[in-house]
Amino acid sequence: MKELYIPSSDGKNQLHVVIWEPNITVIGIVQISHGMIEYIKRYDEFARYLNQYGILVIGNDHLGHGETAKIDDDLGYFCPSNMSETVVADLYEVTRFAKKNYPNVPYFLFGHSMGSFMARRYIMTYGNELDGVIISGTGNQSGSVLKAGKIMVSLTKFFKGDRYRSKMLKNMFFSKFNNHIPNVRTSNDWLTKDETIVDKYNTDKYCTYSFTVNGYRTLLDVLSFIQNSNNIAKIPKNLSVFLIAGEEDPVGNYGKAVKNVYEIYKKAGIKDISIKLYKNDRHELINETDKEDVYDDIRHWLICHL
């Protein structure tokens, strides 16, 4: 595992980048776009698994996350404006870096949760850079929900500022995520059935802060962008897409929203698109109790698309 920093597209910050390089010939590259309130090193086991099969893995901590955040106060804060556009431009900077250092190798993007939203925006702008995209733990929101969310976030920003950490907004976004879970232990049980992973998450500095108002603005910004039909039409029709999610994942409305994305993309003319929903699994598929099956499915899909 190598760690380095490259300039962010915002012209101010440095992106913390991690590279997992296989000991055998590189036959493909997977770039990871991680989720909200987590960081790239949480994908270490998944990356090392892919390394065994000649797949190099690279990813960065987004602005306001992990070791890209210069100080703790920056955790959960992206940038003053054009937030999701900047995060996606940063992903492209990582793509450029990887392709420069490892040229002429099939290239894939893996996006999870908020990172899947960023990946969905990425393919609307930079889709031709990829041989395929894996969209994990994604979702959709209705226009009315997005509109209501934007009003609440805008009001909170007006009265409290962009760096304010609001319990009300946190509850608005997350309070129902454990509703389908019997015998709830912690507020983050919805992530995975693996209690060890949940407990580790709950004690991790880079997973236990609250999003700022700016963070929620970014989330609503990217959701609005990726659900716009004009933007969906910009996704290359020949891009290979693999949608994966747990059937017990609240982010994807327990599979319904993921199926909705699948149908929207098919209707938009994307030819090579597949979907797999994992029975009884929650949000973080690569940290689930059946993660070996998930890993194998991802590897198989990648090998078939090299």
Confidence (pLDDT) at 210: 97
- Per-residue pLDDT tens digits for 107-140: 999 999 999 999 999 999 999 999 999 999 999 9
15 alpha-carbon distance from chain centroid? 16
Q: Binning pLDDT at 50, 70 and 90, where does residue 15 land? A: very high
Neighbouring C-beta atoms of residue 195, cutoff 10 Å: 12
- Per-residue pLDDT tens digits for 149-174: 999 999 999 999 999 999 999 999 99
Query: Which whole number is the average pLDDT over 248-259?
Result: 98
Question: Which residue ranges make up each domain of the chain?
Answer: 2-304
Query: Which whole number is the average pLDDT over 262-289?
Result: 98
- Bridge partners of 32? 59, 110
Average per-residue pLDDT for the chain: 98
- Per-residue pLDDT tens digits for 100-111: 999 999 999 999
For 288, the 3-state DSSP assignment is coil
Q: Kindly state the helix (H) or strand (E) to which residue 19 belongs, with its residue range.
A: strand 14-20
Q: In what order do the strands lie in the sheet with 2-7?
A: 2-7, 14-20, 55-60, 28-33, 107-112, 132-136, 240-246, 273-278
- Are the C-beta atoms of residues 27 and 106 closer than 8 Å to each other? yes
- Are the C-beta atoms of residues 61 and 15 closer than 8 Å to each other? yes
Confidence (pLDDT) at 230: 98
Percent of the chain having pLDDT more than 70? Answer: 100
Question: What DSSP line would sit under 183-194, residue for residue?
Answer: S--STTGGG-S-
The architecture that CATH gives domain 2-304 is 3-Layer(aba) Sandwich (3.40)
- Per-residue pLDDT tens digits for 200-237: 999 999 999 999 999 999 999 999 999 999 999 999 99
Total-model pTM: 0.97
- Bridge partners of 109? 31, 133
Confidence (pLDDT) at 74: 98
Confidence (pLDDT) at 93: 99
